[in-house]
């Protein structure tokens, strides 16, 4: 999720998050779902120490964790997670949204975003300019070559994949060792 969207949620609902909330590990398309959930939680009488601990995409859907456990709040989190399965994670549309797996990653996206994801671009429906495509492609190739070299030094027979959160933001790196174990960093 873009920095300005994260900051909007953290600024408007500071009591729901710890002082050092790590990140929103999901696409911009789910911003409105998360924002609406936070608005609902803000008007409830929550336990004084209740905090949202994590917001991320997992198995194609939105995953939310809060602590301490509260049945009413957990039910709201679950409803939000279920609603995310009908909303494109990249652009937020509800039109033509489908669950699909691409290169081992489970995702929920609309038709235009699925096409871009399958073409190798992680940024929602917005097009890259020809210059941006060329520069981004070249930079990613250089990073991938260096990463492959580092992985072979540490995990002989292993592989690595760059995973982008957006066209300007690296989400994480997936590393698979020779025994098939997967690590994300």
Pairing of strands 105-109, 159-166: unpaired
Q: What is the pTM for the complete model shown?
A: 0.64
pLDDT value at residue 163: 64
Q: Mind listing the pLDDT tens digit of every residue in the chain (185 residues)?
A: 888 999 999 999 988 987 777 678 899 999 999 999 999 998 988 888 888 988 999 988 999 988 888 888 889 999 999 999 999 999 999 999 998 888 778 889 998 888 888 776 544 444 445 555 555 666 677 777 777 777 777 777 777 776 665 555 555 666 666 777 766 55
pLDDT value at residue 85: 94
**What are the distances in angstroms from CA 5 to CA 27, 56, 57, 100?**
10, 14, 16, 26
**What are the distances in angstroms from CA 8 to CA 4, 24, 163?**
6, 12, 25
Hey, what are 166's tokens? 């957006």
pLDDT value at residue 182: 66
How many angstroms separate the CA atoms of 176 and 157, rounded? 9
How many angstroms separate the CA atoms of 114 and 133, rounded? 18
Instruction: Round to the nearest angstrom and report the end-to-end CA distance of the chain.
Output: 17
**Where in the chain are the domains?**
3-118, 130-184
From the list 59, 60, 52, 49, the residue with the least C-alpha distance to 23 is: 52
């Amino acid at each position: 999720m873009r920095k300005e969207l994260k900051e909007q949620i953290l600024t408007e609902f500071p009591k729901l998050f710890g002082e050092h909330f790590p990140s929103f590990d999901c696409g911009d398309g789910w911003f409105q779902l998360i924002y609406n959930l936070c608005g609902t939680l803000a008007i409830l009488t929550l336990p004084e120490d209740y905090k949202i601990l994590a917001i991320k995409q997992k198995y194609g859907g939105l995953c939310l964790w809060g602590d301490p456990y509260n049945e009413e709040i957990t039910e709201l989190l679950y409803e939000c997670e279920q609603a995310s399965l009908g909303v494109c994670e990249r652009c937020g549309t509800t039109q033509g949204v489908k669950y699909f797996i691409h290169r081992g990653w489970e995702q929920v996206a609309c038709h235009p975003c699925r096409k871009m994801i399958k073409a190798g671009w992680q940024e929602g429906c917005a097009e890259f300019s020809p210059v941006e495509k060329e520069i981004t492609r070249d930079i990613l190739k250089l990073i991938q070559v260096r990463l492959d070299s580092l992985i072979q030094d540490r995990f002989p027979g292993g592989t690595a994949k760059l995973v982008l959160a957006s066209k300007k933001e690296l989400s994480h790196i997936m590393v698979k060792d020779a025994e098939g174990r997967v690590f994300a960093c």
